Structure 1
Amino acid sequence: MWLASVLFLASAIWRGRGARVDSREDAHSDHKEAVTYREAPELLKYRTFNETGMRLLISGADLPLVASSSLVEEDSKAKLLEKLPKEWRSKLEIVKQLGRGAFGKVFLCKVLCESDSDVYVSVKLIQTEVPFSPMKLWIKREVQLLETMQDYSDFCISTIGSPSSVDNKDGTWIMMPFMNGGELRDLVRRCRNTEGCRNFNNRLDWTKVNPQWNTAYILVLFHDIVAGVEALHEQSGMLHADLKLENVMLNCRGDKCYAAVIDLGIACNPQLWMLRKLPLPMPGVCGRSGTPRYLPPEVYKGSAWAMSSPARDVWALGIILYFLMYGGVPPFFHGNPAEVILEYDVRADPNIPGTKEVDELVREMLTSDYTKRPSLAEIRMKLEDLIELEDSPEAMTMLRQSPAERGAAVATPECLQTPDGGN
């Protein structure tokens, strides 16, 4: 049991803009505090569960699905006691603390070695009191995965810089991109709170939020997300296993934005599926862990082979696309997810309004039979066809551009790539 608890606590650490911070409570704790939520289900911050928590949930335990903690931001630089590692002091300066969680803090840092413009990065500090604890090993695993993704895709979170991480007496420091646009959940909230964004046939009209954000533009952002997940699969061989609105962040410069997948804390290796037969959950094995509202039916059924399929991530991506296209929420966002997800029939979903090509794509991604879901490459190609049908030359151009070429980001300064001992 102790190992399961450690794996849960270490699985997500926290997050902050690009490196977001959450304090994730143990999903099988005795915490039963009643909370009244006024926001729509898709706008809540959902908790990630470990294997033990999922077993309790499936058995009928009344566990809170929504995180009770939130980002804590401190503006006063004077309150900051931490000093950056000496390797970074000539390159970076802490501007403020973006947030803190149970295991560490995230800072906004200005790049000092870039004189042409104001460029910022985020720096995570993971604090562990026991230097050789299992949690420390889990952190090392996540850092290695982030480093594996470095320079591979702008649409999947990674470390940046050289060195990209530093261990010292304070903990583990990680340099990552700063994403200034917040979570995708925040963007969905803007639509929900904007008059006319939800039209008469339950589709979302994003131009009510911003005249530049037509359907093609939103589909490009979703294409970014799919590309990020595909890059993770290709480069690392890992599944994300915890895709949700909160785990996608945006970076914008004016009306130009791009999206990136974040939080690789419970990413799993599908090649290790045979280890599901062991009595204790093992790091990196695809199992019954994740965010209950976003988990596909095969996870609840417990098939080791099915849980290790890339189709697991496709299901969660289908939910994200659902929230970007429609004004309603999937029926399984109400009730016990262990029951309603197994009963869900996408063909009978009243919130999917018609037979447009995008509706068919959502239905394909949310089919209960994981073997019939499209691959990420197929989804990406279908999205490109959908964007072309929208007759938006600007959106088609965005598809072929990096975030910097798109005008949505500033390229990482080359000076960060040069090792420097600092002072």
Structure 2
Amino acid sequence: MLVDGALRPATVTIAEGRVSGVEAVDHPVAGPVLDVPDAAYVLPGVVDTHVHVNEPGRTHWEGFATATRAAHAGGVTTLVDMPLNSVPPTTTVAGLRAKQEAAAGRLAVDVAFWGGAVPGNLADLEPLHEAGVLGFKCFLSPSGVEEFPPLDPAGFEEALAEVARLDALMVVHAEDPAVLDAAPHPPSRAYADFLLSRPDEAETTAVRRVLDGARATGARVHVLHLSSARAVDLLADARAEGLPVTVETCPHYLCLEADAIPDAAPEFKCCPPIRDRANRERLWEALLAGVVDVVVSDHSPTTAEEKARGGGDLQQAWGGVAGLQVGFTAVAAEAAARGIGVERVAQWMATGTADLVGLPDKGRIAPGADADLVVHDPTATTEVRAADLAHRNPVSAYDGLTLAGRVTHTLVRGSSVVDHARGRMLGRMLGRTA
């Protein structure tokens, strides 16, 4: 069991959905006992802070019932829903209320919400903050959906200043639109051509803008889904300077590589893209060095038809990897192959993410914390078949892989039953809201 960052034999006791004690392994207990395989680890439930649920408005892409069932199957006990690609987006309190109404009674795990910062909604940020969103997401380049446009440089700095005033967190999709516009992007089925259309420079240029904005306003900023390792030195220097910046990357950037991606395979398309093996190795180094803080899924699903749009032309296909159910197992397997312990994975995917968004009752096994647990057996294997995954549409970049390790149990507040009435909605400093 992972307690205080270290693995040790223990018995955890649970009362009213919370951890009531962490005791010696032979501690006598009354009531039901969950026996786990001798080789298995009991870890804090994964807190995935980057998930696109898409409901309401695009529930045919994904929805709360299917997303939270997939989360539960993959060891994720809390997720934070992004403010797009739902209709309406979570850029106003009315949009947040629409999302909460859509989620009610459909949650197998706990869910919190990001707000959105878009052109024209500066006055909405404070009401959203007061309504309990955990922070604000913005794009510096087009998001892919018209109802969530990007901020231009002036709008970005205005939004950062407001976020700083609120002592909130701005999370940023950092790709530069001018660099993307200048890159070649002809119709093509070749993954190598798609990669050229999203160059490293798009990320490094945008990361500089994010850091300049934090320097100018004092806002806390978080770089989403870092793909390009060429930005690592910029981020390390910013940390050394004392700028309030944190960074995430994703399982698909840590576990997959461009050279192994076949052409005309849109299930691998995401923005920013999966890059080459050397880049992947540098991301692992940055993670181990603490320059990259956390690992999240960026679960961004759509229909099989949207993924296949263009008949293999990767410029037309929807960009996003559906990895909510598989991400923890994939990262744990890749880490184990590198001699990295599962306790580090739990730090990156549970404790660190909970701390990032201010959920102190999540991501840890400690008295008083929510009894959200995942049991992971490293001696078992997971055969990934897209058709068997719980998210709504059977498309996955991990389809066909055999991963070392398997999630055998997921407990949400002490129960391993998949119950769509069990999950609760969470808010910033508000605890449970529904």
Q: Which has the higher strand share?
A: 2
Q: Which has the higher helix share?
A: 1
TM-score normalised by the chain length of structure 2: 0.29
